[in-house]
Structure 1
Amino acid sequence: MRHRHLGTATLALGLVVLTDVLRVFLPSVITIFGQAASTPAELLGAFALGWFVLALAAPPLVRLVGSRVVGVVAVALLGAARLALTAGPGGWAQLWLASAGLLAGLVWLAATAARGERAVPGLALGLAAAALGHVLVGTYDLVWRGSWAAWVAGGATVAALLAGEVLLARRRGESTPVPHVRAWLLTGPALVLGGMVALSPAVVSTATSFWFGEAGTASTPLFAFAPLGVAVALLLLAALAPPRPRARLVWPALLLAGALLFGYGPPSLLAVAVLLSAAGLGGCLALADGAAGPTARAASRRGYAVVGGMLVFAVVSVLYYAAYDLGYPNGWLPALVAVLTGLIALEGRLRPRPAAPATEESVAPAAVSTARESRAFARLPAVPIAALATLTAFAAAVLHEPWPMATNRPGPPEQVRVVAYNIRMGFGMDGRFDLTALERAVRGADVVVLSEVDRGWLLNGGHDTLHLLSDRLGLPYVFAPAADALWGDAVLSRWLVGRARTRVLPAVGAPTGAQALGVTVDFSEGVRLAVVSTHLQPPPGADPVVQARAVADFATEYADGLPLVVAGDFNTEPGDPAFAALTDAGLVDAFAAARPLPTSPADDPREQIDHVFVSPDLVASEAVAMPGTASDHLPVAVTLTLPGGAS
């Protein structure tokens, strides 16, 4: 059969491009349409879901115009949107481009499904290729960089995708088995489970950091991305190898176990969740693979199936992340998707189908019987492909092995420059992920305290912002989860840090979790500094005074007589009860001499909510809020003279 794998390769390339667009669309909805959480969560969710609902018009369009024409036009629009995003428009232009690209991608998927292409190999290879591409760039997508390399790589991918689609549209007279509807229905669930846990490089790098302790690690771990190679290999081997009937219940069980571990397990077992989910997802895809007899409405059913599956992707994504605005439990959602995936994969496998009456149509060359399903499709060499993917992931791990950290400077310093910054997951006021601007904002600091650190949320494009920033600055870090294992607060330091401790703060009705992270900076010669990083989350319409008292109690207990710094986004202003709770505990406002010092919003700062408090034995000077729009907050900096350092 000519071009027997052309459809598979084109589907895989298309999923890579569509994933690139999704990594822009999802955070753009939050940062641009959401306007720093000022847009109601319900309206924000409706906007995001609306594009997926609109795609339900694609199957009738395909039936009216034809899958070949619609497929070529849709993939051209998808590729054009992807390349236009590389130009870095930012703002509403970025949001509309990403939305248009998403809609074009959904229409293309519907056309591809209606044409009768085989879903599972292309879906598995597309998921694997998107993950490997993400790890090769260290989770800092080319679409955000805008360099010549980004244009070349993006242009080559889009050109190959368009060429494949044109060749498929010109293909005539080839008899191809018709895939089951259930295989296309799994597209959305596979994308959400793969992006959320099973094939996320950022989740893998975060998981390895938890091997070094409860509060993350005191340095970027070596070969942080290496376990992704194992995850990709497990998915491909399970998805592309012939399914074993006796093992059909094993794959849904593994997928469910991984999803439950992701939702409810400790951070130290996050890597196990990744591997279980990857193997289980691959096996479920294999179970869904197979051929079905053509019917008059099969093309439309497949089109609705793939769009419906992507609607599942949208609903689950919105519900999972809206929990951090609305305050309901969300750990069950990945498990629910795993159950749904398992049921779809097993449909028709656990119960025998009634034998169809023998007719001329049922034995026509285009029909494929159930007994011949395992031979209906040309199989891909699973082992060589999995081995190549594994080598690629391990090569990327070597490529992104961290530089030596700038620790153990000789002798204790007289002064320490401290910067506190709410980085909003790395996204600026224009909605772009600008790592260079983040680095510029904190470079030169001796101790950096970060809030709203994202280490792999699918909603934000799956970046490990902390890993990226730590490698760029050459500073080791300690990370503490707050909302979940992938979102929280961190401390970076030019000197070795240790004695990391965390304390969960009372929720008091606030939807997003909050914590306090304590670390000790060791300047050598017995000189040490206690640093506490926190991000208070006030309940709706109230002051976070209860959390402020908890932070003050934890900080003074943790410092135990050492010079102390407490910094972060406190969501309270001077004169408020929470602010007074910190100063009443004996802490000093390090910015008192520079007030007023507004820090939010970054493009028109009016609120003083980012602070640094110190113990009385530290002398604060040169306090400033540095201008910039790399986040919706301004970074604040202060120079601290250590006890005895002025003499």
Structure 2
Amino acid sequence: MKIASYNIQFGIGLDGKYDPQRIAAELGDADIIGLQEVTRGFPRNEMVDLPAIMSSLFPEFHHAFGAGFATDAGSQIVDGRMHMRHFEFGNMVLSRYPILAIRNILLPRTRTFDKMNMQRSALECLVATPDGPLRVYSVHLDHRNPEERISQIRYLKDRVIQYGIEGGALTGTAEFGFVDPPHADDYVIMGDFNMMPEQPEYLAMVGAKDLYYGRTPRATDPIDAIAHLGRRKDGDYTWEEPGHPEIRQYLDYLFVSPTLLPRLKGGWVDVDAAGSDHKPVWLEIG
């Protein structure tokens, strides 16, 4: 099973061209996909409905979209009826396997007075894979403030780790004639975390490294799958500044539950991808 995370920058590539078909081609071999910077009503891509477009490019996949916010983008009365138009910005999951339950988790944020700060979110999808239920989180954290990222990480980790107590999206559905979603200990948290390896935000996510023992897998800390596999090297990156390839950072990750460690087979960054200013990050699970 191949899982890919890709911040698609509204469908606009390094060359400045809007081309969702190119993005789909770069992800064509994946079984589960997490996307970030998926928009509706955004002027930079002619206000297209990108969730609808991406789902149409994977016609046999289940799909879910969760926006962190919606703001008016020119609603008006047309032929005597209100025509609603909103700008939405969020995350998406596409899955070859059924999505059994969906929860959009709104992350902590603080008001700003100069630069933009928006409501960030994490889209939780419970996926029925051939090897059992798997929780998948498509995540996009704040891009300006490390302290805000740390608060978002702590809140998200609480939701992930306390899943068994909180119950995820819903429980007790037999009352309405539905089958309760299965419980899943296994999870993958993927997305654009806007942090570099070993920075304070990263340590808040995975825990501190012991000078002798390194990082011991614990139930309270997700595992950086690429690092665990030894596939991340100095100089690796997942984002570059358009027009300035000398400016590069490693911002995108696939974190997994310790229960998945025996099943990790491989992980890599597709540095040849050009469909966004970010690069897709891949993980193969056996």
TM-score bucket (shorter structure): 0.7 to 0.9
Indicate which of 98, 104, 116 corresponds to 1:502: 104
Out of 161, 164, 175, the residue aligned to residue 556 of structure 1 is: 161
Cα distance change, pair 522–602 in 1 and its aligned pair in 2 (3 A): farther
Task: Report the counterpart of residue 445 of structure 1 in structure 2.
Answer: 30
**Counterpart residue number, 1:519:** 125
Cα distance in structure 2, aligned partners of 1:431 and 1:483: 25
SS of alignment partner, residue 55 of structure 2? helix
How far off is 1:457 after superposition?
2.1
Are residue 633 (structure 1) and residue 275 (structure 2) matched? no
Q: For residues 189-338 of structure 1, what are the structure 2 equivalents within 5 Å? A: none
- Quote the residue 1:67 is aligned against: none
Matched, 1:595 2:232: yes
Match of 1:421 in 2: 6
Kept in 2: contact 1:588–1:614 (CA 8 A): yes
- Cα deviation digits, residues 101-133 of structure 1 (max 9, x gap): xxxxxxxxxxxxxxxxxxxxxxxxxxxxxxxxx
Distance 1:472 1:602, change over 3 A: farther
Separation in 1, partners of 2:15, 2:267: 27
Q: Is the 8 A contact 2:133 2:184 kept in 1?
A: no
Counterpart residue number, 1:531: 136
The corresponding residue for 1:433 is 18
Deviations 1:393-443 (A, max 9, x none): xxxxxxxxxxxxxxxxxxxxxxx2110000001011221111221111111
**Counterparts of 1:519 and 1:465 in 2: how far apart (Å)?**
19
**Counterpart of 1:595 in structure 2: which amino acid?**
R
Kindly provide the CA deviation profile for residues 29-70 of structure 1, in whole angstroms up to 9, marking residues without a partner as x: xxxxxxxxxxxxxxxxxxxxxxxxxxxxxxxxxxxxxxxxxx
1:540, distance to aligned residue in structure 2 (A): 4.1
* SS of residue paired to 1:571: coil
Contact kept in structure 1, 2:267 and 2:283, CA below 8 Å: yes
Counterparts of residues 82-231 of structure 1 (less than 5 Å): none
Shift in CA distance, 579/431, structure 1 to aligned 2, threshold 3 Å: same
Q: Which has the larger radius of gyration?
A: 1
* Deviation at residue 620 of structure 1 after TM alignment: 2.4
Q: Does 1:458 align with 2:93?
A: no
- CA contact 1:508–1:539 (8 Å) conserved in 2: no
CA contact 1:602–1:629 (8 Å) conserved in 2: no
Q: Which amino acid aligns with 2:101?
A: R
Letter in 2 for 1:632: D
Partner Cα separation in structure 1 for residue 184 and residue 128 of structure 2 = 15
**Match in the other structure for 2:197:** 574
SS at structure 2 position matched to 1:544 = helix
Q: Which has the higher contact order (CA 8 A, sep 6+)?
A: 2
Aligned mates of 1:493, 1:558 — CA distance in 2: 21
Cα distance change of structure 1 residues 457 and 640 upon mapping to structure 2, 3 Å threshold: same
Give the direction of change, closer, same or farther, for the CA distance of 1:632–1:567 in structure 2 (3 Å limit): same
Question: Are the equivalent residues in 1 in contact too, given 2:197–2:250 (CA < 8 A)?
Answer: yes
Counterpart contact for 2:121–2:140, Cα < 8 Å: yes
Shift in Å, 1:616: 1.0
- Give the corresponding residue for 2:253: 611
What residue is the counterpart of 1:482 in the other structure?
68
The Cα shift of 1:517 comes to: 1.4
Equivalent-residue separation in structure 1 for 2:141 and 2:50 (angstroms): 21
CA shift, 1:541, in A, is 6.5
Q: Which moved more, 1:537-546 or 1:566-575?
A: 537-546
TM-score with structure 2 setting the length: 0.73
Aligned counterpart, 2:264: 620
1:543 and 1:578 in contact (8 A); partners too:
no
Please name the residue that 1:467 is paired with: 52
Q: TM-score, normalised by structure 1?
A: 0.33
Is structure 2 residue 191 aligned with structure 1 residue 586?
no
Unpaired segments of 5 or more residues in structure 1?
1-415, 642-647
CA deviation vs aligned residue, 1:200-239 (integer Å, no higher than 9, x gap) = xxxxxxxxxxxxxxxxxxxxxxxxxxxxxxxxxxxxxxxx
1:492 aligns with 2:94: yes
2:254 is aligned with what amino acid? V
Q: Which amino acid aligns with 1:480?
A: G
Partner Cα separation in structure 2 for residue 557 and residue 457 of structure 1: 35
TM-superposition CA deviations, 1:452-497 (whole Å, max 9, x none): 0012323430211221121112222111111426210011100110
CA distance, structure 1, for counterparts of residue 91 and residue 32 of structure 2 = 14
Identical amino acids, percent of aligned pairs: 28
Q: Tell me, in whole angstroms, the C-alpha distance in 2 between the residues paired with 1:490 and 1:541.
A: 24
Change (3 A) 1:541 1:551: closer
Q: Which runs of 5+ in 2 are unaligned?
A: 71-86, 165-182, 208-219
Matched length: 225
